[in-house]
Structure 1
Amino acid sequence: MRILVLTSRRIESRQSGYDLRVANLCAHLPAEAHLVAIPLEEETDGPVGIAVDPLFASVEVITAFPPGRERARRYLRASNDHYMRLSRPARFAAARDRLREIVAEKEITHVVVFGVALAELAVTLEGVTTVLDVCDSGALTAERALSGSAHPSHGLQLWKDRLALRRKRVTEGRLPDRFDVVVTISDPDTRAIERLHGSSGVVRTIPNGVDDAFLTPLAEPGTRHGVVFWGNLGFAPNRDALWFFLNEVWEPHLRDAGVELCVVGPNAPSWLAGLAAHEPLIVLTGYVEDLRSAVAPYPVMINPMRTGSGLKNKVLEAFGMGLVVVSTRMGVEAIPEVRDGESLMTAEGPGAFADAIRTVLKDPELADELRAGAHALVEEHYRWEAVGRRWADLFTTAPRAGCAGR
C-alpha cells in the first residue's frame, strides 16, 4: 500500500484547524505516504508550527488555483463538481496530468483528499482507492447560517447564499457515489451527507483528537470571576456566537454581576475590538502562543454556538485543561459521549445560559464534578492515538479501487 495525500493548502500552521487535522490524521496512516499540496488561494506569510516532512516520503506543491474574476453566470451552475475544470481549464489539466504521473511513479494504491474543493481532481485518478475527508458538511453549515445567524443576508447576497447552498447540497449528495470512502468529522455532518445522498451507513465519522499538551493531569481551577472563549474570530460561527453571548447573555444578565469575559484568538471583528477598548470587564488578547496560560485564570469556557457544523476543538481542549464548559446543545452535538450535568452544562436561551454560568461560578463542588467527568471523557475517547486507530482502519477495510462511481 502506498498513499497519496492531496491538500488545498500547505500544511504548516497551528492556527489552522485544517492543517492540524491533516497533520494528525496523516501521522497515523498505515503505509508510506506522499503529500501534494495544491493551494487554492494566494498564499501569505504566516506563523509556521507544523513540520510535515517527517510524515511523508515526499512533499510537492503544484501551481495554485488563485481566485479569478467572477462572472455572474458562475452563480447559476448546478453543482461544484466541475468548477475548477471549467474556471481554470489549463491549470486543471496540468494538475491532473501531474497527479497521474505521481500515481504511476510512486505506485500509489490509495488517494486521500482533504476537503471537497479538490474532489474533482481526485476522481480523475484511475486504479486507486479514493478516500475523501469532507470534515464539516458545507451544506449543513450553510443551512444553519441562513436560518440561525444573528446577521442574516439580504437582497442580492441572500440570493447568492441560497444558490451556493443548492450547489453544496447537490455536490455533497453525490460524494458517496464518486469516492470509495467518505469521512466527516462528526455524526451530524455524516447524517447531513447521507440525507442528501439518500442512503444511510455510507459515510464514516472520524472526529478530531486532542493534542497531548491539553491532556495533562487536572490543575487547580481558575479563580477569576469570569469566563473565556477562544477560536479564530474570523470564522463566522465564532463571531455569531460571541455576538449572541455579549448582546443577549452577558450585557443583560451578567455584566452587572461583574462577570468578566476573556476572548482569545486572531481576527477580532471591529465591533468586538471597539467594545473591549471601552469595557474593562472584556479582555481581548488576540492570538497567543500558549493557550493554556492564557485561559488558566478562568474557571469556565463558554461555547454559545448557534450556527456552523463539525466538532468544536475548543470544547475538547477545555475538557483536557480542566475548564468547565457551558455550551449550547449544537456546540457539543459532535461529542456524543457528553452528558449534561456530568461533563458540562448545556443551555439554550439567554437566561438559561446566564443561569448555568452563575451556577458553576458559585458552586465549586459541582464545578469539580464536571471537570473530572469531562477530563475522563476526553482521555478515553479523544486522544489522537485512539482517533488514529479508527482512521488507519479505514484503509484496511476500504473497498477495492474502482468500487465507487466516478
Structure 2
Amino acid sequence: MEILYLAHRLPYPPNKGEKIRSFHQIRHLARNHTLHLVSFIDRQEDFQHVDALRKYCATVDAVYRRPFRSLFRCMWSLASGVPLTLGYFKSQEILGRVQDLIKLYEIDRIMVFSSCMVQYVMDYSGIPKVVDLVDVDSEKWTKYSEYKPFPLSWLYALEGNRLRRYEKAILEGFAHCVVVSEREATLCHRIVPEKTVSVIPNGVDIEYYQPSPNGGQPSTLVFTGAMDYFPNVDGMIYFCREIFPKIQKRVPQVKLYIVGRDPKGSIKELGKIKGIVVTGEVDDVRPYLHAASVCVVPLRIACGIQNKILEAMAMGLPVVATPSAIQGICAVPDRDLFVEGSPEKFAGRVTSLLMDEDLRRHISGTARRLVERNYSWDHPLQHLERLLEISG
C-alpha cells in the first residue's frame, strides 16, 4: 500500500515520547508498504536528521514550524473558537504538501499521528484514514488547569473543552482510532461511547537498552525526559522540594541527575541545590541510566505510557514512581517496580533501595524480564498494520 503518514514532529532521532512511537511505526510499516512522510520540524538543527528517514520513506516533506507564527496563530485560535493546539500546528505549507502528494501518488491509506494533524485530512472521505491519538489531549489540558494559577487555569480549561469537542469529531469521522493505553480508550468512550478504539501500547528497544554489567554508582538517582514539558518540570520541582531533602537526611551523599533537553529556568535553578546536577540535552541517556542506582519518576500529571519507565526497566534499573506515572504499564508493584504516593513514602522507598544492594539486584532482574516478555515493538505494530489493511 501507499501510505501518507502525517506527524507533528520529525520522528527522528527517536529520543522522546511521541518521536519514539512514530519512528517505530514508520520503521515497521516501511517493511511492507511505501510511505510518504509529511512532518513539522521544531528546531532548525533537526533538518540534519531528515535523510535518516529516507531509508524508510519514499518521500519526506519536512516543514519548519516557526515559533512566532505558531504563537500568533494560537491567538487567532483563541478568538475564533477553535482549539489553540490546531492554530499552533496550522500551516498552509503542510496543507499544500499533503494536497500535492495525494494528487501525485495513488495514496491507499492515510495514517495520522496526533490529533493536531487531523486538520489537514479531515475533509478527505475517499481515502481510508487511521489516527493515532496516543493520548486524549483534552484530558491532559484539563489536568494542567488544576496546577496553574489564573488566568492560565482558565485558558487551559478552555483548551480542554475545545479539544474534547474536536476529539469527538475525530472519533466519529475516522475509520479507526488508536490510543496508547486502556485508560485512554476509556476516556475516548466517554466522548463517543459507541466508538471502537484500539489500544496499541508503546514498546522499548530491548537490544538498545541493555543492563549495565557493573551496576550503578552508589547513592545515585536519575530522571530522564524533555525538561520543557510541563509534567516533567512539575514532577522534578515537586521531587526536589518535597522528597529529595528527606532522602538527603538519611543518605547525605545522594546525587540526582536530571537528564533532558531544553531545561526551563526553574529546572536550571534546581541545579544550584547541593547534590543535584542538571545536564541539559545529552547525545545518549544510557550512560546516565547505567550510572544510577535508582530511577525516580515522581510525576503528578501523566498521560499514556511513560517511555522513561520502560527504558529504565529494560536496563535493569529499579524504578520508584508515583501512581500517575505507571498508568498503562502492566507491572506488579513491589515485584517489578515500586509505587509510592506521598513524599514520605516515596523518600523512604528510594532510601531503602539505595541502602539495599540485594533488593536492587532482585528488582533489576524482574524489571528486565517483564520488559522482555511484554514490551517488544513487533506485536503491537503488527496490530496497527492490520488496522490499516482492513480500514478499506
Give TM-score, length-normalised by structure 1.
0.86
Partner of 1:26: 26
Within 2, Cα distance between the matches of 1:53 and 1:271?
38
Deviates more, 1:346-355 or 1:379-388: 379-388
Rounded to whole Å, the distance in 1 between the matches of 2:371 and 2:76 is 47
Instruction: Name the count of aligned residue pairs.
Output: 387
**Which residue is equivalent to 1:69?**
72
Q: Which of 347, 368, 377 is 1:384 aligned to?
A: 377
Closer/same/farther in 2, CA of residues 2 and 73 from structure 1, 3 Å limit: closer
Indicate the larger mover: 342-351 or 222-231.
222-231
For residues 14 and 325 of structure 2, the distance between their equivalents in structure 1, rounded to whole angstroms, comes to: 22
Does residue 153 of structure 1 match 2:149?
yes
Percentage identity across paired residues of the two chains: 23
Matches of 2:43 and 2:262 in 1, distance apart?
A: 17
- Which residue of structure 2 aligns with residue 341 of structure 1? 334
The CA deviation string for residues 343-395 of structure 1, in whole angstroms up to 9 with x for no partner, is 00100000110111122222223222221111111111212223322222222
The amino acid across from 1:111 in the alignment is I
- Checking the alignment, whether the CA contact within 8 Å between 2:138 and 2:164 is kept in structure 1 is yes
- In the TM superposition, what whole-angstrom CA distance separates every residue of 1:272-308 from its partner, at most 9, and x where no partner exists? 32332352x1122222223221221211000001113
* 5+ long unaligned stretches in structure 1: 401-406
Amino acid at match of 2:61: E
Residue type at the aligned position of 2:334: G
Amino acid at match of 1:381: N
- Indicate the larger mover: 259-268 or 13-22: 13-22
- Could you list the per-position Cα deviations for residues 320-361 of structure 1 after superposition, in whole angstroms to 9, with x for gaps in the alignment? 1110000011101121x2000110010000011011112222
Distance 2:320 2:288 in 1: 18
Identify if the C-alpha distance between structure 1 residues 129 and 230 changes in structure 2 by more than 3 Å, giving closer, same or farther.
same
CA-atom RMSD in angstroms: 2.8
Higher deviation after alignment, 172-181 or 45-54: 45-54
Per the alignment, residue 60 of structure 2 pairs with 59
Q: What is the distance in 1 between the residues matched to 2:39 and 2:356?
A: 51
Residue 226 of structure 1 deviates from its aligned partner by 2.7
Tell me which moved more, 352-361 or 120-129.
120-129
The counterpart of 1:352, out of the listed 342, 345, 357, is 345
Q: Distance in 2 between matches of 1:298 and 1:173?
A: 43
Q: Deviations over 1:65-99 (max 9, x none)?
A: 842635867325554499569x97xx64x755653
* 1:251 correspondence with 2:245: yes
Higher relative contact order, chain-length normalized (CA < 8 Å, sep 6+)? 1
Partner of 1:404: none
Q: Aligned with 1:360: secondary structure?
A: helix
Q: Any conservation in 2 of the 1:110–1:128 contact (CA below 8 Å)?
A: yes
- From the superposition, tell whether residues 144 and 214 of structure 1 become closer, same or farther in structure 2 (CA, over 3 Å): farther
Structure 2 alignment gaps of length 5 or more: none
Partner residue, 1:317? 311
Alpha-carbon distance, 1:194 to partner: 1.9
Deviation at 1:228, TM superposition (A): 0.9
The two structures have a TM-score, normalised by structure 2, of 0.89
For 1:304, the aligned partner's letter is P
Matching residue of 1:403 = none
Structure 1 counterpart of 2:105, one-letter code: K
Q: Structure 2 matches for 1:210-359, cutoff 5 A?
A: 210-216=204-210, 219-255=213-249, 257-258=251-252, 259-279=254-274, 281-335=275-329, 337-359=330-352
From the superposition, tell whether residues 71 and 321 of structure 1 become closer, same or farther in structure 2 (CA, over 3 Å).
Answer: closer
Aligned position for 2:3: 3
8 Å contact kept, 1:172–1:197: no
Counterpart check, 1:133 vs 2:128: no
CA 1:42–1:395 in 2, change beyond 3 Å: closer, same or farther? closer
Question: How far is the alpha carbon of 1:64 from its aligned partner?
Answer: 5.8
- Asked whether the 8 Å contact 2:22–2:113 carries over to 1, the reply is yes
For residues 97 and 26 of structure 1, what CA distance do their matches in structure 2 show? Answer: 22
Is the alpha carbon distance of 1:315 and 1:107 closer, same or farther for their aligned partners in structure 2, counting shifts above 3 Å?
same
